[in-house]
Chain A
Amino acid sequence: MTFDFNMMNIFLLALFLAAGVWTVLTSRLLISAIGLAVTSIMLTILLFLMKAPLAGVFELSVCAGLITVVFISTISLTKPVEKSEVLQLKMKRLKRFVFLPLLLFLAAWVLFAKPLHLTNPAQVPVEQTTLQHVLWFARRFDLIGQILIILTGVFGVIVLFKTKTGQAEKQDNER
């Protein structure tokens, strides 16, 4: 196996960035949500490859799974934009970048005016451990948390989707 991990990483990073940009820039919320999920999945794969399985697991379960569920359920309640409003909304979308210069300025200030001397701190030897090992021996307690999250997610799906159809119709009728 002479697979070039570095190339793989860079490729995934690029994908990750692309998905992120796509998420922010797309005008349709549903696509944006799917973009978010893709971003999360990319990040998860990256984390696994970079030997951080623990973070990977949580990223996958929390961000990719549950948050997307809630996002989509929110979005499904919104109405599609009418054509007359599109131009207005485009203007609005530009407004969200108002703070960008400020952020950029502050970031630049942090990075350049007061440079962080990131002298490499006490380097911790990376243990060659597998995912199973980490989960089963070092962090068994957190597994309970993991179980809880998954259960909660299941209930989230039940609550938000099972009863949704009837609910939405009722609301439409009310309007």
Chain B
Amino acid sequence: MIPAYIKIMPIIFPVFAGLAVLMLEKKRNEIMCAWTCFIATAINLLLCASMFGKEWDLIVPWGGMFDFNFSLRLYHFSSFILLASAGFGFLISLYSFSFMNGKEKINQFYSYFLITIGLVNGAVLADNLIVMLFFWEGLLLTLFGMIVIGNKTAFRTAIKAFIISGIADLCMMVGIALTIHLAGTMSMSEIHLQISSKTAAAAFLFLMIGAIAKAGSMPFHSWIPDAAIDAPLPFMALIPAALEKLLGIYFLARISLDLFKIGTNSLLSTIMMTVGCITILLAVMMALIQKDYKRLLSFHAISQVGYMILGIGTAVPAGIVGGIFHMINHAMYKSCLFLTGGSVEKQTGTTDLTKLGGIASKMPITFVCFIVAAASICGVPPFNGFFSKELVYDGALERGRLFYFAAVLGSFFTAASFLKLGHAAFLGKSPDDTAHIKEAPLPMLIPMITIAALCIFFGVWNYFPLRVFIQPILGEHRLEGHDFAGMPTNVMLIVVTLVVIIGSIMNHIWGAEKSGSGLGAADHIHDAPLLHTIYDKAEQRMFDPYEIGMKFASWLAKVTMSIDKVIDYIYNVVVVEFTYAFTGFIRRLHSGSYALYVVWSLLGTLIVVLYIMRKI
């Protein structure tokens, strides 16, 4: 029997450590903050590792009259996510040692870092929908805080992130309310609903919006590229790249596997797949034309979510396993890519691709890590991204050629944009003043190397993650006897994938020759007749749902303002005047004469007597 205080430790411990960090005086204690954070994440990692594979429940009755329990549940899936997020937290806190050194508001950064980990652990462990919502909403605050401490324009981005996530969370709140109403219980492990009515479908859709918005899917994505520029880089590597994906996809998988049963060929499944495909394509198209290291990566962070949603949306075993596998793979290679971006930024002082170039020889280890991670994201065998993408393709093909085609097309552009990125940043001509550039310091290299090594490990020995981590999540009966470990069985798919990759390399060579530089390798796509105008408008944020929403909101604000003035008048003038008139009246009544008071009391008593004796 594990005592209760151990069970809540993954939540309590990081949060309290975070609060402790916040109390440290920032000027003198930069090193203290970093060490505290590092040690706390290390302990958290040990804690979560020791919990892996165990199963327990914790139920604390919370307020007798509401039938509301504070309940946590650890089982295979949640312990896996717990372990993964603790691992990323640990590595990135190590990375932050060097990266955050000398930055402002460093104690706030570490504090939010730790609180975020605690809240993520809470949201993953929670077995009560309301409790989960509590932690989920709490993440909104640390998200806001972490963006805000970035550069000068960060505040605007933070507001944007806050509003977008807030709206999505609102949807999820509605979904949770509907689900509780339908199921009659708040306990997630007891909810198994069939999508038989429109209400149930609506509940699922609302919950899905919450989940995919957390994961960063379109149309809830537009704050991520902005944050990539404004927020501190470890934040990008930790939160949008790793933790939010883990959490969002975890919840998406929970709702579509556990809470609701999404059948193959159902409308909801098609909706999810469509959302996935659109996200893949649109985001990758945007990524292709970016001229900033971090911004380019951030569009990929959106695009890759599409694969996960597509995979889980297929509702067939191959797709689901692929989607979840892709989630963990993506978290690895994308955080690794962001970390390489961070070390480039730290060492060269910029992430603008037009000013970078030829640093591969100066930063060889970073470059190797970049190649491994980029190969993974492009789906080059034998790296991990290849295997998870093949599984998603397999699932998509089972459901329809169109989805498969969209996914493969996305893969083509992914490869193209990474060829461009690698070429422009690491190869090619170097600008003049690159002599002083050195390899990144060791604390930044260790996380990158570790993650890159894991990318290879998860690819070559893919039966380990698949059999130990992912397939048990579905359980025997859902797997329908499949075992997805090892090389994909469908040779046609592998051939298509290889053709696509080779095609994309040829495209890159052609484009680079045509424009004369690695950076311009995608210009022929950018400048294609119809696409060009669309791209221009997209760059001006014409398609950003947030901007459109804000325009509508400001119009709405004007209308409501005039209504509000009337209401204001009623509240501020009529009600207040009335209250004051009444108050004054009462005040005048209290003349201070004791005789008057006695008379009041006697009259009161008389009324009491008359009222009580009325019966007779």
Contact = CB atoms under 8 A, between A and B. Distances in A.
In the complex, A touching B (Cβ < 8 A): yes
A96 B616 contact: no
Nearest to B607: A106
A117 B616 CA distance: 9
Interface string A100-136: 0011001000100010110000000000000000000
Contact of B606 (A106, A114, A117): A106
A114 B616 contact: yes
B602 A96 contact: no
B405 to A, nearest CB: 93
A99 interface: yes
A116 B606 contact: no
A103 B616 contact: no
B609 interface: yes
A99 B598 CA distance: 11
B616 A116 contact: yes
Contact size class for A? Answer: under 10
Nearest to A116: B616
B595 interface: yes
B605 to A, nearest CB: 11
Given A103-B602, A117-B616, A96 B610 contact: no
A116 B614 CA distance: 11
B528 interface: no
B2 interface: no
Interface string B584-616: 000000000001000100110010011001001
A110 B609 contact: yes
B299 to A, nearest CB: 81
Contacts of B595: 96
A117 B606 CA distance: 19
Contacts of A114: 613, 616
Contact of A110 (B599, B602, B610): B610
B604 to A, nearest CB: 12
Contact size class for B? Answer: under 10
Contacts of B616: 114, 116-117
A110 B609 CA distance: 9
Nearest to A98: B599
Contacts of B609: 110
Interface residues of A, dominant DSSP:
loop
A114 B609 CA distance: 13
Interface string A63-85: 00000000000000000000000
Nearest to A115: B616
A169 B424 CA distance: 96
Contacts of A102: 603
A102 B602 CA distance: 12
B606 A99 contact: no
Contacts of A117: 616
Contacts of A106: 606, 610
Contacts of B602: 103
Contacts of A99: 599, 603
Interface in B63-104: none
A162 B613 CA distance: 49
A71 to B, nearest CB: 12
Nearest to B616: A114
Contacts of A103: 602, 606
Nearest to A102: B603
Contacts of B613: 110, 114, 116
A103 B605 CA distance: 12
B543 to A, nearest CB: 78
A110 B602 CA distance: 14
Nearest to B606: A106
A116 B616 CA distance: 8
Contacts of A116: 613, 616
B596 to A, nearest CB: 9
A106 B606 CA distance: 8
Nearest to B600: A99
A103 B602 CA distance: 9
Contacts of A96: 595
Contacts of A110: 609-610, 613
B26 to A, nearest CB: 55
A99 B609 CA distance: 18
A99 B597 CA distance: 12
Interface string B13-56: 00000000000000000000000000000000000000000000
A114 B613 CA distance: 10
B328 to A, nearest CB: 76
Interface centre among A99, A116, A117 (most CB of B within 10 A): A99
Interface of A: 96, 99, 102-103, 106, 110, 114, 116-117
Interface of B: 595, 599, 602-603, 606, 609-610, 613, 616
Shortest 6 CB-CB contacts between residues of A and residues of B:
A99-B599, A96-B595, A106-B606, A114-B616, A110-B610, A116-B616
Given A103-B606, A114-B616, A117-B616, 13 more contacts: A96-B595, A99-B599, A99-B603, A102-B603, A103-B602, A106-B606, A106-B610, A110-B609, A110-B610, A110-B613, A114-B613, A116-B613, A116-B616
16 contacts: A96-B595, A99-B599, A99-B603, A102-B603, A103-B602, A103-B606, A106-B606, A106-B610, A110-B609, A110-B610, A110-B613, A114-B613, A114-B616, A116-B613, A116-B616, A117-B616
